[in-house]
Amino acid sequence: MKGFVIKPNNCLNRETPAFCHDSYEGGGKWRTPGTIENLICTLKNDITPYPQYVLDAATARLSAILAEDLPQIMRIIRKAGLQTLRVCVVARSKHEEHYTFNQKLFRNTIQQAVRSLDGFEDGTHDIIRHTDTKTTHLERRGNGGNGRMPYPGITKETCTISNNVCGKCILLIDDLYTNTVNIDEDAIQALYDSGAKFVIFYSIGNTIYRGN
């Protein structure tokens, strides 16, 4: 697991401590089984539908990653005096009913992991998309579908956010963090605007740029 800091920008008004399991390099690595890139692509399950045995293997690997990383995050926050984290998940880009059960495996696997670990509260359904936005990783090829690309306030305008986040310390999880997209920054800000006490971010992959 690696730590980093999400910087303030026009979508987020404060620095946010963040963690990721590994770097995400892109460059076609999503086609290579066993890579983080392939895991994230498989769990999205929206380019080519994957057979059930492939999805089962992906969810098992995600479960193992969460079982490794989330207790580490808990040990860190307890050293800072916090005792519990409510776990929320960044909503996918389209409205909730757009996705099949097998396209919700990322969130469902997180929910199962959270329920089995000490110190975590299940808030995996605290952020629910009700209005379509562009699917950013498909928009590069013109296949992003309905809605708009990320803009400041998109989470509050296109999602329902539960009152259960109010006053809570939140661990917000996404599959992939990319610092040029701003959907995660906007979701963090939306949680603060909805009364969250403190937000930590975690993603499975963190996009790195070649040549940087």
Q: Do the strands 159-161 and 127-129 form a parallel or antiparallel pair, or are they unpaired? A: antiparallel
What does DSSP say about strands 198-207 and 159-161: parallel, antiparallel, or unpaired? unpaired
The predicted model gives 37-53 an average pLDDT of 89
Residues with Cβ < 8 Å from 88, sequence gap 6 or more? 123, 124, 126, 127, 165, 170, 171, 172, 173, 191
Q: What pLDDT does 71 receive?
A: 97
CA separation for the pair 185, 187 (Å, rounded): 5
Question: Residue-wise over 79-93: b if at least 16 C-beta within 10 A, else e?
Answer: eeeeeebbbbbbbbb
Please provide the DSSP assignment of 107-152 as one string: HHHHHHHHHHSTTEEE-TTSEEE-S----HHHHTTT---SS----T
Whole-model pTM?
A: 0.94
User: Where exactly are the structural domains of the chain?
Assistant: 2-207
Is it the case that residue 68 has pLDDT exceeding 50?
yes
Span 101-160, pLDDT tens digits: 999 999 999 999 999 999 999 999 999 999 999 777 765 666 667 778 888 999 999 999
DSSP bridge partners of 203 = 20, 174
Phi and psi, residue 111, nearest 5° = -60, -45
Q: What is the pLDDT of residues 162-200, one digit of tens each?
A: 999 999 999 999 999 999 899 999 999 999 999 999 999
CATH of span 2-207 = 3.40.50
CA–CA separation, 37 vs 65, rounded Å? 14
pLDDT-based confidence at residue 209 (cuts at 50, 70, 90): low
Res 141: pLDDT = 67
Which tokens belong to 7?
């910087």
Residue that wins the pLDDT comparison between 63 and 143: 63
